[in-house]
């Protein structure tokens, strides 16, 4: 939906009527609005006006692109000459002039381009106002169809929601409404323009001695000449059809025929213009249809881009969550391996090492494998030593047992000799001495 923009300080786009002429009151010279028309009805001013400056931040925090001004130039004179009014009062105010021409030109007040308007204003509407500088600052009234937030690019004219407020600063950037497409409504003399360089840069005075016959075409519109509302209908062109009646007495037949021929030529040209107007309107309708289709295409592309952005954001969040989980697991594994390595080193009687968990997992695995191998070799050596000690103990036990047996055998005497000795009181010598067994006789 188009946004109404009136470029004076204090204008509120949400309430354009209440913030326009009702809030601007100025006492004008009497000659601006009372009895001035009676003095010099055929005197008028041609005012050259720098109306708005391209890419310049206004005090309303709006910016009009150079391209948007270039495209809006035609709307100041087609299909009608835009009015010059006071304080944007286009509800019940008075038209004091018309725009004659518009162009994108170099500014005389600041570097860059501006919208340069040439306006025709009757003296009975302006009197001393332009000459003495009272009427010097201006503000354009526009209907904007492409307004974007300078921070996020939201299409404000299409109703898109945006949290950024004009004039507020976000991350060092001031928020503006950037106007990319608009059409002229009117231009007003105001007290304080939002574009501080917008105003009259020069003027000239013109006076018609013959009652206005040579006045600019825009001023002739004040003679109640109106364009037809229906496309293709014959449009009235202001021609002086009273010529025959007013001057017939002093004219000869040749002059009358020339006048009639001029009238016929003008009527023919008018019909041709009406036909061209229909063709142009058809072209405009076609372009508007294409514009709507392009806007719909842009909207679809934006929706697809937003959807893709959401998908990318979701995938990034999933990846980040997975990476965090992997990192947490790696940390847990490192802590567990570090504890195992510390336990094994303690078991192996090796000194403790600080900050083992800061080492890589592969390094911890290698250290654990090395110390396990060392412990395995130590256990094997201990087992072999124990087995050898066991065998040596068994051999020593057998040898001791054999020595004890040998000792016992050396102390044994024959029972028959003992008994005879006890009976006879004498001990007889045995016939043969008993040999003591040798250690070799025992199977150890």
Q: List pLDDT tens digits, range 145-181.
A: 999 999 999 999 888 888 999 999 999 999 999 999 9
Average pLDDT over residues 63-83: 96
Lowest mean pLDDT among 107-121, 136-150, 162-176, 215-229: 215-229
Please tell me the predicted confidence (pLDDT) of residue 252: 53
Which tops the pLDDT comparison, 215 or 333? 333
pLDDT band for position 444 (50/70/90)? very low
Structural tokens at position 69: 């001004």
Per-residue pLDDT at 25: 47
DSSP assignment of 292-353: HHHHHHHHHHHHHHHHHHHHHHHHHHHHHHHHHHHHHHHHHHHHHHHHHHHHHHHHTTPPP-
pLDDT of residue 186: 96
Q: Token pair for residue 240?
A: 């002086």
Residue 210's pLDDT is: 40
302-318: b (≥16 Cβ within 10 Å) or e: eeeeeeeeeeeeeeeee
* Residues 182 and 72 sit within 8 Å (Cβ to Cβ): yes
pLDDT category at 101 given cuts 50, 70, 90 is very high
Report if pTM > 0.85: no
pLDDT value of position 275:
74
pLDDT given for residue 399 in this prediction: 87
Helical (H) or strand (E) element with 426: none
pLDDT of residue 273: 79
Residue 424: pLDDT over 80: no
The per-residue pLDDT of the chain, averaged, comes to 77
Q: Within 10 A of 254 (CB to CB), how many other CB atoms are there?
A: 8
Averaged pLDDT, 370-393: 87
Any idea where the domains of the chain sit in the sequence? 3-225
Helical segments of 184-252, H only: 217-220, 243-247
């Amino acid at each position: 939906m188009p946004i109404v923009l009136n470029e004076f300080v204090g204008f509120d786009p949400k309430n354009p009527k209440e913030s326009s002429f009702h809030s601007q009151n100025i006492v004008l010279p009497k000659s601006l609005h009372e009895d001035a028309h009676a003095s010099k009805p055929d005197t008028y001013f041609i005012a050259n006006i720098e109306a708005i400056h391209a890419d310049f931040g206004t005090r309303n925090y709006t910016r009009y692109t150079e391209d948007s001004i270039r495209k809006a130039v035609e709307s100041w004179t087609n299909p009608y000459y835009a009015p010059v009014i006071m304080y944007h009062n286009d509800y019940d105010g008075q038209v004091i002039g018309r725009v004659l021409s518009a162009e994108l030109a170099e500014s005389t007040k600041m570097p860059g381009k501006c919208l340069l308007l040439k306006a025709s204003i009757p003296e009975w509407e302006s009197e001393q106002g332009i000459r003495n500088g009272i009427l010097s600052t201006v503000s354009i009234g526009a209907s904007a169809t492409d307004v974007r937030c300078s921070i996020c690019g939201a299409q404000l004219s299409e109703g898109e929601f945006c949290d950024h407020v004009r004039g507020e600063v976000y991350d060092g950037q001031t928020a503006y409404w950037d106007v990319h497409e608009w059409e002229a409504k009117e231009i007003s003399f105001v007290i304080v323009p939002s574009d501080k360089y917008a105003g009259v840069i020069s003027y000239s005075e013109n006076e018609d001695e013959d009652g206005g016959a040579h006045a600019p075409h825009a001023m002739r519109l004040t003679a109640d000449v109106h364009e037809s509302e229906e496309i293709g209908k014959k449009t009235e062109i202001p021609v002086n059809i009273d010529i025959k009646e007013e001057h017939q007495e002093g004219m000869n037949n040749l002059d009358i025929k020339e006048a009639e021929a001029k009238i016929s030529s003008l009527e023919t040209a008018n019909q041709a213009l009406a036909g061209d107007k229909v063709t142009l309107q058809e072209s405009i309708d076609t372009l508007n249809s294409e514009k709507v289709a392009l806007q719909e295409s842009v909207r679809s592309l934006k929706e697809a881009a937003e959807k893709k952005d959401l998908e990318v954001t979701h995938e990034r969040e999933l990846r980040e969550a997975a990476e965090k989980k992997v990192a947490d697991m790696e940390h847990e594994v490192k802590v567990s391996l570090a504890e195992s390595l510390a336990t094994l080193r303690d078991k192996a009687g090796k000194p403790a090492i600080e900050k083992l968990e800061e080492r890589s997992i592969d390094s911890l695995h290698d250290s654990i494998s090395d110390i396990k191998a060392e412990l395995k070799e130590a256990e094997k050596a201990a087992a072999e030593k124990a087995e050898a000690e066991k065998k040596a103990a068994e051999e020593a036990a057998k040898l001791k047992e054999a020595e004890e047996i040998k000792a016992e055998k050396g102390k044994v005497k024959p029972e028959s000799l003992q008994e005879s000795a006890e009976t006879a009181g004498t001990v007889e010598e045995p016939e043969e001495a008993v040999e003591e067994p040798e250690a070799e006789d025992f199977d150890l």
